[in-house]
Structure 1
Amino acid sequence: MKKLCVVLSLLIIFGLGAIAFTNNKIGGIIGKITPIDAASTVSLVAAKDTLSAQINQGVFTFTNLKEGVYTVVVKANAPYKDTIIEKVAVKDSATTDLGEIKLQQ
């Protein structure tokens, strides 16, 4: 009887844990930098946290982001200038497309 109670308790705990995490919806940010070789890194800043993304043929992607407002920092290669895009909103379960980001010389 004790084993049955322990097993049922564990099943209930795991079930509640699975339900608790289903409400955490995640989003993302995508964009394309032109010219494609103009940027060295793309970073995402939220409060004190910073993430970096790979740039592939000018395209970058941030995934698994919580809903909120972020700042995107593009570190440019010379002779181009760095670019900062502030107040990029991410809604739950949605990907925010920044479109084409043209770096200036």
Structure 2
Amino acid sequence: MKRASLSILAIAGLSIGLLAFGSIKEGGIQGKVTPAEGAKEVVAIAGTDTLRSQISNGAFVFSKVKKGTYTVWVKANAPYKDISIENVAVIDSATTDIGEIKMLQ
């Protein structure tokens, strides 16, 4: 009887632990670069995490982003200049839209 109670308690503890980790959701970052040919790469940095995104028709999306505060760098093609957007906040289960980023020469 004691063993059965211990087994049930262990299973319940593992189930609760798995459910706690399963509830962690990731967010995202999206935006658009104009003109589209002005940028070659978009990078999001938070601490030691560095994420890279493809640019398609000027639009970019970072998915599966951990919650936190990021700096987004738009790496430019000549004659445009690199741009950074600081303090981009990402929360669980939400995509942060940083809007249109106009490349400057």
Q: Distance in 2 between matches of 1:57 and 1:11?
A: 50
Please state how far the C-alpha of 1:15 moved relative to its aligned partner.
3.0
Question: Alignment identity in percent?
Answer: 52
Could you say which residue in structure 1 is the equivalent of 2:49?
49
Gaps of 5+ in 1: none
Q: Distance in 2 between matches of 1:62 and 1:79?
A: 26
Give the secondary-structure state (helix, strand or coil) at the position aligned to 2:81.
coil
> What RMSD, in angstroms, separates the aligned Cα atoms of the two structures?
2.2
Could you say which residue in structure 2 is the equivalent of 1:102?
102
Q: Distance in 2 between matches of 1:61 and 1:18?
A: 29
Corresponding position: 1:85 with 2:82? no
Give the secondary-structure state (helix, strand or coil) at the position aligned to 2:36.
coil
Could you say which residue in structure 1 is the equivalent of 2:66?
66
How does the TM-score come out when normalised to structure 1? 0.84
Q: CA 1:17 to 1:76, structure 2 compared with 1: closer, same or farther past 3 Å?
A: same
Please state how far the C-alpha of 1:50 moved relative to its aligned partner.
0.9
Q: Distance in 1 between matches of 2:24 and 2:40?
A: 32
Question: After the TM superposition, which of the residue ranges 16-25 and 68-77 deviates more from structure 2?
Answer: 16-25
Please state how far the C-alpha of 1:12 moved relative to its aligned partner.
5.0
Equivalenced residue count is 103
Could you say which residue in structure 2 is the equivalent of 1:34?
34
Q: Distance in 1 between matches of 2:46 and 2:25?
A: 17
Q: Distance in 2 between matches of 1:95 and 1:17?
A: 27
Give the secondary-structure state (helix, strand or coil) at the position aligned to 1:15.
helix
* Letter in structure 2 aligned against 1:31: G
